[in-house]
Amino acid sequence: MPPITAHDPEVAALIARETARQNAALTLVASENYASHAVLAAAGSALTNKYADGYPGARDYPGCEVCDDIETLARERLCRLFGAGHANVQPYSGSVANLAVYCALLNPGDRILSMKVEDGGHHTHGSPEHLSGRLYRAARYGVDPATGLLDYAEIAAAVRREQPALLICGGSFYPRTIDFGAFAEIADEAGTLCLADIAHLAGLIAGGQHPSPAGAVPLITTTTHKTLRGPRGGAILCDAEYAEEIDAAVYPCLQGGPLMHIIAAKAVCCAEAMTPAFKDYSRRVVANAKVLATALAAEGFSPFTGGTDTHLLVLDLAGAGIRGCDAEGALSRAGIAADRCPVPGRGEGYDTAGGIRLGTPAATTRGMGEEEMKALASLIAGILRNPHHPGRIGEARREVAQLARTFPVSP
Ligand code: DSN
């Protein structure tokens, strides 16, 4: 960071501290990852200096020729990666991407049907504290409490009962495959629009490890920084018939100037995600999550639904005598970041969460494989059995630090 060090040593020192923190600790937060040097370079480029309100060929500022080419490239790559008809790469975040879909295609007061937050849904899908819950009337479906799985017959019944204008699938901690085709069929039968929020699954879909909603579900939103391993931001994919309304909702309805440096970084991450190396990465992400789940089960901890098909698992701590927040704290003291999580079907909130969410995207980017997942499972089990034992936590911390040194963030 030489230019920052000379120009602003205070900020340079803080960035250096965060970089060191990321290197020394392990993150199993399922939504976190490490972007490549190329993605970071694009995000830190001179494109940040340019205003480019509008879209390629129709901007409100002069000098946007290069921005036009970059945005066109990012759109083309995103469409190619997911097999979509149209892409909007301007959303600042996944939250804005979701709002843009609602603004484009719903009227205030319309009904949304989405997954309960406490079962793995997202607050931008109609929670009362989010604008989506203030502008629209939200109804929720949950998982089957007996199996923890989505029950498509129940969801179809909820659609018939609630008559929503929009059915949303996708969320933050459902560990199993989502049958996007089933959601599309349910929505089609009811004449309802369907949105797939693939923020968590985007990288697995791009890498061929999870079925894609494209071609079945007409509206798709995502973030670009989770399993897709790009810059922090959002995007929308849709059938061509919705392109005009979606674009108008993003700009000028919700946003101002697009973040052209981030759009360039989105183009870079899409190119990376088309490589055989990324396909292999996403395969290893899922393989690692399965090994972690199996090894934790062998240690006596219960992965919710018995395991995972994806990049994450939810450990049900009910039988382990430890609350989610205490598990999060103990793991954190040992150098492992993982967030507490409600166990679906139990009506728990985040403050009363009885589970912990573990994800493998970041550890896999560091090069960890199945042996390291087994070692991590044993470390996690030891920490959760002795959450208040300073000696044991200290011992685990040293082992975590050694693992982190062996698998640095930027090899
Ligand atoms: N905050 C993200 C997550 O951790 O899953 C969802 O937006």
Q: What is the pLDDT of residues 20-42, one digit of tens each?
A: 999 999 999 999 999 999 999 99
Residues ≥6 apart with Cβ < 8 Å to 306: 297
| CA 31 remoteness from chain centre | 5
Cα separation, 109 vs 128, in Å, equals 13
Asked whether this chain's domains 2-30+276-406 and 40-273 adopt the same fold, the reply is: no
Give me ligand 1 centre to Cα 31, in Å.
Answer: 6
Residues 121-148 have a mean pLDDT of 96
pLDDT, residue 1, reads: 60
Is the whole-model pTM more than 0.75?
yes
In eight-state DSSP terms, residue 343 is P
Report d(CA 124, CA 411) in Å as an integer.
36
Q: Please check whether residue 280 is in contact with residue 363, taking contact to mean a CB–CB distance below 8 angstroms.
A: no
* 3 state DSSP class of 374: helix
Q: What is the 3-state secondary structure (H, E, C) of 111-125?
A: EEEEECHHHCCCHHH
In 106-223, where does DSSP find H-type helix? 131-135, 152-162, 180-190, 202-206
CA 7–ligand 1 middle distance (angstroms): 34
31 Cβ closer than 6 Å to some ligand 1 atom: yes
The residue ranges of DSSP E strands in 145-287, in sequence order, are 166-169, 193-197, 219-223, 234-238
**In this structure, what are the phi and psi dihedrals at residue 290, rounded to the nearest 5 degrees?**
-65, -40
Helices 260-273 + 276-298 axis angle, to 10: 80
Residue ranges per structural domain of the chain:
2-30+276-406, 40-273
- Rg (Cα) of the chain, in Å, rounded? 21
CA dist., res. 96 & res. 132, Å (int): 11
Q: What is the pLDDT of residue 334?
A: 97
Token code pair at residue 338: 């993982």
Look at residue 130 and tell me whether its pLDDT is greater than 60: yes
Question: Is a pLDDT exceeding 70 seen at residue 238?
Answer: yes
pLDDT at 347 (0 to 100): 86
Report residue 85: phi and psi, to 5°: -80, -35
Cα 287 to Cα 125, 150, 230, 304, 371, distances in angstroms: 30, 22, 21, 17, 11
- Report the pLDDT averaged over residues 348-356: 92
Q: In the structure, what pLDDT confidence band is assigned to residue 3 with cuts at 50, 70 and 90?
A: confident
Smallest CA separation from ligand 1 atom 4, residue: 31
Mean pLDDT score of the chain, rounded to an integer? 97
Please tell me the residue having the least CA distance from ligand 1 atom 1: 31
pLDDT over threshold 90, residue 203: yes
Verify whether ligand 1 is closer than 6 Å to residue 172 (CB atom): yes
Contacts of 91 (CB under 8 A, 6+ apart): 97, 100, 221, 233, 234, 235, 236, 250, 255
Is it true that the peptide bond before 387 is cis, omega within 30 degrees of 0? no
Ligand 1: residue of 96, 99, 122 to mutate (most ligand atoms within 8 A of CB) is: 122
CA atoms within a 13 Å half-sphere pointing along the CA-CB vector of 213: 29
Rounded to an integer, the average pLDDT of 263-288 is: 98
Ligand 1 pocket mutation pick from 226, 311, 350 by most atoms within 8 angstroms of CB: 226
Q: Whose CA is closest to 211, among 226, 201, 221, 197?
A: 201
Query: Which ligand 1 atom minimizes the distance to the CA of 94?
Result: 7
Give the model confidence (pLDDT) of 308-330 as tens digits. Answer: 999 999 999 999 999 999 999 99
Q: Which two tokens stand for residue 114?
A: 């989405």
Tell which CATH classification among 3.30.2010.10, 3.30.70.330, 3.20.20.70, 3.40.640.10 matches the domain 40-273.
Answer: 3.40.640.10
Please give the number of the atom of ligand 1 that sits closest to the Cα of 32: 4
**Contact, 375 vs 403, CB < 8 A?**
yes
Superfamily of domain 2-30+276-406 in CATH is Aspartate Aminotransferase, domain 1 (3.90.1150.10)
Give the number of the atom of ligand 1 that is nearest the alpha carbon of residue 124.
7
H or E element, residue 356: strand 355-359
Calpha distance 402→188 (Å, rounded): 53
Question: By three-state DSSP, how is residue 302 classified?
Answer: strand
Is pLDDT of 379 > 80? yes
The Cα-based distances of 45 to 40, 136, 197 in angstroms read 9, 39, 29
Rounded Cα distance, 230 and 94, in Å = 13
